[in-house]
Structure 1
């Protein structure tokens, strides 16, 4: 059975990572922190057991928070402002093929809720 920590999920399976908040939009001061957000795609094998992978991971770096892809999409469909900001951040730190697909779909998450 495969066992993976939240830190390993973020480190090894991130499909999209960005900087959000004041730094992303040119409003930072010297005291501003750097808010990092990301999306990870948990390995399929982690869904084949009773204990599912985490829907989110806080860390491992300070001010870093990542969502599992399915949870991220659920929140985006509900017009969660943090998730929508993440999708539209101008400061993308990393993106792979799955992350690019997610970014291409970002307009589909906008609705009357947002």
Structure 2
């Protein structure tokens, strides 16, 4: 079984699910934006038992593509990682590879969610973006600095909105309803990085005051069962 990432580049075997993520998926891409791809694959089960296990991730830059081995993807998703989590919440038209096992994974996506991990992961990533805004790279107001600052600000706002939605409703909307509001926020923060502080403080309070619909911890049993089906599928005696 062979997957394709739609790019015409060398393929990783046994791709189970892959799609377009990042700015293109959010609706924030511009004409110079890279197209980011993310997916997961199954290593042949036999290779997991030797002295030298297969690579857990394959990353390329032409095109920008990251593929995680199935077990690694599960561990990252169970930890609340926002980047890997979005793979199982994409709009249908953004998937480039879908298999039966990939569809099964989409079907159990809510079992990967736990309130504490979602809150900590999304707020943690948003705080990282804020720290980058505070540092302002070289401290100049060059065009490149403004561009990078605006980008960090857009992603800070996105992480806050998406994370709080997921925490509050148990659903994750990838395409932003009003991308222009995020672009405007980016330009505002590019002119004054401290303008991002009220937004971050607002969502810190919102998370603290919101009662999540999610269980406190994810249900690892569903991921374990799915992963064992993957191992059985790709075992060749």
- Compute the TM-score of the two structures, normalised by the length of structure 1: 0.86
C-alpha RMSD over aligned residues: 1.7
Instruction: Give the drift of 1:82.
Output: 0.8
SS of structure 1 residue aligned to 2:26: coil
- Compute the TM-score of the two structures, normalised by the length of structure 2: 0.43
Runs of 4+ deviating beyond 4 Å: none
In proportion to residue count, which structure has more helix?
Answer: 2
Separation in 2, partners of 1:60, 1:97: 28
Give the number of equivalent residue pairs.
107
Instruction: Give the drift of 1:11.
Output: 2.9
In proportion to residue count, which structure has more strand?
Answer: 1
Instruction: Give the drift of 1:61.
Output: 4.3
CA radius of gyration, larger in:
2
Separation in 1, partners of 2:67, 2:95: 14
Name the CA shift for 1:31/1:63 in 2 (closer, same or farther; >3 Å): same
Counterpart of 2:53? 52
Counterpart of 2:202? none
Superposed CA deviations along residues 39-63 of structure 1, whole A, max 9, x for unmatched, are 0001111112011111111127421
SS of structure 1 residue aligned to 2:95: strand
Instruction: Give the drift of 1:92.
Output: 0.9
Bigger RCO (CA 8 Å, 6+ sep)? 1
Separation in 1, partners of 2:33, 2:87: 18
Q: For 1:96, which of 79, 96, 99 is the aligned residue? A: 99
Separation in 1, partners of 2:24, 2:90: 10
Matches within 5 A, 1:1-114: 10-59=11-60, 61-90=62-91, 91-112=94-115, 113-114=117-118
Instruction: Give the drift of 1:66.
Output: 0.5
Q: What residue ranges of structure 2 are gaps of 5+ in the alignment?
A: 1-8, 119-237
